[in-house]
Structure 1
Amino acid sequence: GFGDPLLISEEVLAILRNLHSRGVQTINSIYIDDSAFALEHQPPGRETSSNPYDAPIGATVVNFNSVAFRVFRNHHVRSTEPQTPTLPIMRELGRHMSRGRYLINICPGGCQPEKTMARFTAQLFRSLQHKAGIGGKGGFGRKKAPAHARLVYFHKNSRNLEEVLASMLKYSSNFIANLLYLTIGAEKYGYPATWAKANRAVHNALVSELGMKTATLIVQEEGAGLSRNNRVTARAMLGALKKFRPHGELLRKRRHVRIKSGTMKGIFNYAGYLSDGKAFVILLNQQRNTRGTVLARIQRGGYPRYASRR
Structure 2
Amino acid sequence: MLNSISTPKIRSLFPFRILLVFLGLLCIAQLQISYAGNLDDLHNLVGDQDAVLVTDTKGRVLFSKNAGRQLIPASTLKILTALVALDSLGPDFRFVTEFYLDQADNLIVKGYGDPLLISEVLVQITATLATQLSANSKEIKDLVLDDSYFGDPIVIPGVTSSYEPYDAPNGALCVNFNTVNFKRKPSGAYVSAEPQTPLLPFALDRIRASGMKHGRIILSSEANESTRYAGHLLRHFLKQQGIDIKGRIRIGRVRKEADKLIFKYASEFSIQQVVSKLFEYSNNFMANQLLVAIGAHVYGPPGTLPKGVRAASTFAKNVLKINNFKIVEGSGISRENKISAHNLHIILEAFAPHYHLMRREGRTFHKTGTLNNISTRAGYIESSKGGLYRFVVLINTPGKTTDRIMDILLNNLK
TM over 0.5: yes
User: What secondary structure does 2:309 align onto?
Assistant: helix
Q: Percent identity?
A: 32
Query: Is this contact kept in 1: 2:115–2:177, CA < 8 A?
Result: yes
Aligned to 1:278, which of 389, 404, 410? 389
Does 1 or 2 have the higher relative contact order (CA < 8 Å, sep 6+)?
Answer: 2
Q: Which amino acid aligns with 1:132?
A: Q
User: What secondary structure does 2:180 align onto?
Assistant: strand
How far apart are 1:64 and its partner, in Å? 0.3
Q: Does 1:250 align with 2:361?
A: no
- CA RMSD in angstroms comes to 1.9
User: What secondary structure does 1:141 align onto?
Assistant: strand
User: What secondary structure does 2:261 align onto?
Assistant: coil
Query: Which residue is 2:316 aligned to?
Result: 206
Query: Is this contact kept in 2: 1:199–1:220, CA < 8 A?
Result: yes
How many Å separate the matches in 2 of 1:207 and 1:252?
Answer: 27
TM-score, with normalisation over the residues of structure 1? 0.89
How far apart are 1:138 and its partner, in Å? 2.2
Q: Which amino acid aligns with 2:343?
A: A
**Change in CA separation of 1:95 and 1:204 when aligned onto 2, cut-off 3 Å:** closer
Query: Which residue is 2:24 aligned to?
Result: none
Larger radius of gyration between Structure 1 and Structure 2: 2
Name structure 2 gaps, 5 residues minimum: 1-110
**Change in CA separation of 1:52 and 1:99 when aligned onto 2, cut-off 3 Å:** closer
Q: Which amino acid aligns with 1:82?
A: P
How far apart are 1:210 and its partner, in Å? 1.1
Q: Which amino acid aligns with 1:229?
A: E
User: What secondary structure does 1:122 align onto?
Assistant: helix
How many Å separate the matches in 2 of 1:283 and 1:204?
Answer: 24
**Change in CA separation of 1:190 and 1:132 when aligned onto 2, cut-off 3 Å:** same
How many Å separate the matches in 2 of 1:135 and 1:39?
Answer: 30
Q: Does 1:89 align with 2:202?
A: yes
Query: Which residue is 1:133 aligned to?
Result: 242
Query: Which residue is 2:115 aligned to?
Result: 5
How far apart are 1:286 and its partner, in Å? 1.3
Q: Residue by residue, what CA displacement relative to the aligned partner does 1:6-38 show, whole Å, maximum 9, x if unpaired?
A: 011122222221121224364331111010011
How many Å separate the matches in 1 of 2:151 and 2:249?
Answer: 21
Q: Residue by residue, what CA displacement relative to the aligned partner does 1:43-93 show, whole Å, maximum 9, x if unpaired?
A: 111011111111111011001000011212343121122111221133223
Query: Which residue is 1:46 aligned to?
Result: 159
Name structure 1 gaps, 5 residues minimum: 303-310
How many Å separate the matches in 1 of 2:153 and 2:209?
Answer: 33
Aligned to 1:101, which of 214, 223, 235? 214
Query: Which residue is 2:281 aligned to?
Result: 171
Higher normalized helix content (fraction of residues): 2
Q: Which amino acid aligns with 1:19?
A: L
TM-score, with normalisation over the residues of structure 2? 0.68
Query: Which residue is 1:187 aligned to?
Result: 297
Q: Which amino acid aligns with 1:274?
A: I
How many Å separate the matches in 1 of 2:142 and 2:133?
Answer: 18
How far apart are 1:2 and its partner, in Å? 0.7
User: What secondary structure does 2:265 align onto?
Assistant: coil
